[in-house]
Structure 1
Amino acid sequence: MALKTQVMSPWGWGLSGALVGALVSFLWFAPAHWLAAAVQQASHGQINLQDARGTVWDGSALLTLTGGAGSPAAATLPSRLHWTLQPSGLGLALQLHTPCCLPQPWQVLVQPRWGGLQVAFSDTASTWPASLLAGLGTPFNTLALQGQLMFSPQGLSASWVAGRGQLVGTAQLQLQEVSSRLSTLSPMGSYRLTLAGGSAPELQLATLQGPLQLSGRGQWVGGKLRFVGEASSAPEHLGALSNLLNIIGRRSGARSVITLG
């Protein structure tokens, strides 16, 4: 029995090539607002890329943090956030920079792993206005913090395999010259949050200097943070810090106990 072989005609090949080219062109020039919509949905409305310009692969927007759906709280970064996104092996390489806070590009590499995903971050330091946190809503909009947030990752990467997450490396967040509308004392002090990876990542809070003393330690257990800390004041500053101590934890004399999880 003879086998019949059908060969695509030149018109067929041409049409197929045109369709593939149109699809590639369509994806390459995908507008930036598509990415903005995806980020908004993934963050449940807490991270918004407003006035998005350019494409998904090379664009910019105004980064706005909010308290989520129905929250009146919102805070916008003072300069536009720029990004580039391009294929890297089987994954994607993302670069972020913004003149106010991230002058050197922050590189994020997303790679698939067997049964999961890995996200690796470059060791790029950045400085952000503490006022940006107010956009996240309660309790940050009540505290209305002022000062600088200095973020420094080192060998930081996160992976998810079979539904389980693991963090490698460290990250440090310094809160410099912090003040709040809940206290007449300005600044209240400077503080350091240290995140250390491992099978159960740890978080440590320490005071660098200032009349408001903060300390604490926490750990992620089963994907949830359990943190116990303390805020206290010297007697001569208690009057100026009393209102703040009432808000941030369970008041006990001149100190306030902070618990999460």
Structure 2
Amino acid sequence: MSWLATRLGRWRAGRRRTDARDSHFAVSQFGPSRFGASRFPVSRLDSAASAAARARQARLRRWSWAGALTGALLAVLLYAPATWLASAVAAASGERVLLAQARGTVWNGDAVLVLSGGPGSRDATALPGRLHWRLRPAGLGVSVRLSQACCLHGEVGLRVRAGWSRLSVQLQAPPDWAAQWPSALLGGLGTPWNTLQLGGVLRLSSPGLTLESAAGRWLVQGRADLDILDASSPLVTLSQLGSYRLSLFSNEQGQVQIVLSTREGALQLSGDGLWGPSGVRFRGEARASEGFQDALDNLLNIIGRRDGARSVISIG
């Protein structure tokens, strides 16, 4: 019996050592889990953790790039140079209105306003002083505030709205507002103004005006008057030709009507036309007042096509 008890004790001790080795092997190979030994090897868990860390780093890098690009775009928008606006104005006007020597940004800047005859033209006239602007977003468009010591009496505003095949420009000016420029400014537009070399003053006034382009058709609400005061020309011996008014307003059909009339003077101008999808169509005439035919004969030959005592003006 003692021999049997000894053998049984040795067998139990060996069994405990075997169970301990098996348990240690299971933990070392599979790792602990909620239910004891994990079903996954430690190496696989490490790989999954590494993949998750790499994914987090990739997301962080993407967010970092997105933030950097957003900041760069905001910086470009906030500090875009004024020359960008000058290029846009030149392109929109067919290089007839130029913002030369532009300084500042698109939002706050100034430049020398120049009228030109367009691409390839050698005619250009610059206004004295500098035109200052402030540009701000306004709803679906932008609001522009303009000032110029030489020519704009006070600050004047323009509100520009763009939509699908639609563009609206609204003049926002104080009551009794008027702008004034030397008539010589027109010489920069080329023929026939560079030949006439007009002297005098251009005066623009408006109680309110909105121009809207829809599907290639221009509509107008309100009125604007451009006066040429005390006009003169070196082509005649007279000290003055007279004073004239070009009015722009909406007719009963909603079209942009253009009317030219004479306020006073030796040279009598008259005519009317429309500003439509195909451009400006204008028909008018020029005559010499009684007693000034000889003095104005050469000028009448330049203004338009001679038809007896009158000169026919045709545009479009």
- For structure 2, list consecutive stretches of 5 or more residues without a partner in the other structure: 1-51
**What letter corresponds to residue 132 of structure 1 in structure 2?**
L
Among 75, 92, 100, the alignment partner of 2:142 is 92
Among 273, 286, 307, the alignment partner of 1:218 is 273
**What letter corresponds to residue 73 of structure 1 in structure 2?**
D
Q: Which structure carries more helix by proportion?
A: 2
- C-alpha distance in 2, partners of 1:223/1:179? 32
Match of 1:256 in 2: 311
Among 91, 95, 108, the alignment partner of 1:41 is 91
**What letter corresponds to residue 224 of structure 1 in structure 2?**
G
> Is the 1:122–1:153 Cα contact (8 Å) retained in structure 2?
no
Q: Deviations over 1:191-216 (max 9, x none)?
A: 11111124222111111111111111
Q: Deviations over 1:140-183 (max 9, x none)?
A: 10011111111112321122233333221111011100001211
- For structure 1, list consecutive stretches of 5 or more residues without a partner in the other structure: none
Deviation at 1:103, TM superposition (A): 3.1
What TM-score does the superposition give when structure 2 sets the normalisation length?
0.75
- C-alpha distance in 1, partners of 2:272/2:93? 27
> Is the 2:94–2:119 Cα contact (8 Å) retained in structure 1?
yes
- C-alpha distance in 2, partners of 1:234/1:104? 38
- C-alpha distance in 2, partners of 1:40/1:115? 21
> Is the 1:248–1:256 Cα contact (8 Å) retained in structure 2?
yes
Q: Deviations over 1:47-105 (max 9, x none)?
A: 22111110111101111111112211111001111111110112100111111111312
Match of 2:293 in 1: 238
Deviation at 1:37, TM superposition (A): 1.7
What TM-score does the superposition give when structure 1 sets the normalisation length?
0.90
| 1:141 aligned onto 2:191 | no
- C-alpha distance in 2, partners of 1:238/1:160? 43
Give the number of the structure whose alpha-carbon radius of gyration is greater.
2
Taking only the aligned residue pairs, the percentage that are identical comes to 48
- C-alpha distance in 1, partners of 2:244/2:181? 15
Match of 1:60 in 2: 110
Of the structure 1 ranges 31-40 and 16-25, higher mean CA displacement relative to structure 2 is found in: 16-25
Q: Which structure carries more strand by proportion?
A: 1
Q: 1:13 to 1:173 in 2, by over 3 A?
A: same
Q: 1:250 to 1:169 in 2, by over 3 A?
A: same
> Is the 2:217–2:276 Cα contact (8 Å) retained in structure 1?
no
Deviation at 1:21, TM superposition (A): 2.0
**What letter corresponds to residue 129 of structure 1 in structure 2?**
P
| 1:176 aligned onto 2:229 | yes
Deviation at 1:113, TM superposition (A): 4.0
Match of 2:76 in 1: 26
- C-alpha distance in 2, partners of 1:234/1:212? 6
User: RCO (CA 8 Å, sep 6+): is it higher in 1 or 2?
Assistant: 1
> Is the 2:141–2:161 Cα contact (8 Å) retained in structure 1?
yes
| 1:74 aligned onto 2:124 | yes
Name segments (4+ residues, structure 1) moved above 6 Å: none
- C-alpha distance in 2, partners of 1:189/1:164? 34
Structural RMSD (CA): 2.1
Q: 1:130 to 1:238 in 2, by over 3 A?
A: same
Paired positions, count: 257
Among 189, 208, 211, the alignment partner of 2:263 is 208
Match of 1:131 in 2: 184
Q: 1:221 to 1:118 in 2, by over 3 A?
A: closer
Deviation at 1:43, TM superposition (A): 2.1
**What letter corresponds to residue 286 of structure 2 in structure 1?**
A
- C-alpha distance in 1, partners of 2:276/2:96? 24
**What letter corresponds to residue 129 of structure 2 in structure 1?**
S
Q: 1:9 to 1:228 in 2, by over 3 A?
A: closer
